[in-house]
Amino acid sequence: MALIGTLSNMRYWIILGVAMALLIGPIGDFSSNLLIIVLIIQMTLSMDGLTLNSENIKKNKRPILYSVIGCFGISAGVTLIIGSFFISGHQDLWNGWVLLAAVPCAVSCVTMSFYLKGNTTMCVLALAVVYFLALALTPLITLVMLGEAVSVLKILSYVILFVVVPMAASFPLKKIKIDRTTRMITVNIMMFLMVFLALGANRDFLSSEPVVVILVIIACIVRVFVVGFLMTHIFKKKGSNRENALVYIPMSVWKNSGLATTLCFVLFGSAAGAALPCAISLLVEVLWFASISSYIEKIWPSDNPISAVNG
């Protein structure tokens, strides 16, 4: 049981991925193709149970709208503002920040909502809408910010590959009874491979540009921890609906950094530094999730009367 508990803990896999990346480094150009396979498997398993119900969407249309604004408004906007500080002298990093801003939120937002007793039903609906809109918004944001530096059609084709294909594959997967532990361990292994491939490909950059790397880490901490902290206290102070707020917060903070990392690989090559902000963001987001759970339960417990107020 102790072994199962260890294998089910994403933090251990993340630490292992970082250690292996620093130890082994780049593994060659085929890492891009391997990362594509890894992401598709991870997204397919994560999207199991993601469905659209028109009646439920109508009932939750306002919270869903706020979630979309959080993802493609607040999160994308903050990411672009922070990333703009890296434009001068680090075009590769700016490319990575743009793709990080353009991708939808992480599927793990549903997991966070569940753990913190948020409105999980609404979160699932909002996530489905966000990913549907991402088919248009991800290429559009990239086009506006990078212009013709990247082919919009190429981005669209990869977004379809990484969103539509996993969604379609998740439906027949429902007929196969995969227990929660097996699913969780498999997703963790995919996360380990993603961290290993992304950071490993940038190991030389990590050692040659330590100051820039530190600045990227600080930028990611501001984007995730500071924004998440501020939103939590703003929603609580305003007396917002706790269950819905705990959907808006991750939607505004937790990006699908794995998708952004993979897009950087296939669009700019594994040797480019574009994937660095996305890979570091992935690590910071996992640390944020690990720390925010107990923090929110402490300052805004689920039995707080404030959660009954509509907002």
pLDDT of residue 15: 86
Per-residue pLDDT reduced to its tens digit, 268-300: 876 568 889 998 998 899 889 878 877 888 889
pLDDT of residue 81: 97
Task: Domain of residue 74: give its range.
Answer: 2-308
The structure tokens listed for 42 are: 């991870």
**Of 116, 29, 51, the residue nearest 290 (C-alpha):** 116
The CATH number linked to 37 is 1.20.1530.20
Per-residue pLDDT reduced to its tens digit, 217-229: 999 999 999 999 9
Q: How far apart are CA 189 and CA 166, in angstroms?
A: 17
Residues of the chain with pLDDT under 50: 304-311
Backbone φ and ψ for 93, nearest 5 degrees, come out as -65, -40
pLDDT of residue 303: 64
Burial 271-309 (b: 16+ CB within 10 A, else e): bbbbbbbbbbbbbbbbbbbeebeeebeeebeeeeebbee
Q: How far apart are CA 309 and CA 303, in angstroms?
A: 12
Number of structural domains found in the chain:
1
Residue 77 CB neighbour total at 10 angstroms = 13
pLDDT of residue 304: 46
User: Which CB contacts under 8 angstroms, 24+ apart, belong to 114-117?
Assistant: 115/293, 116/246, 116/293, 116/296, 116/297, 116/302, 117/243, 117/246, 117/302
pLDDT of residue 60: 86
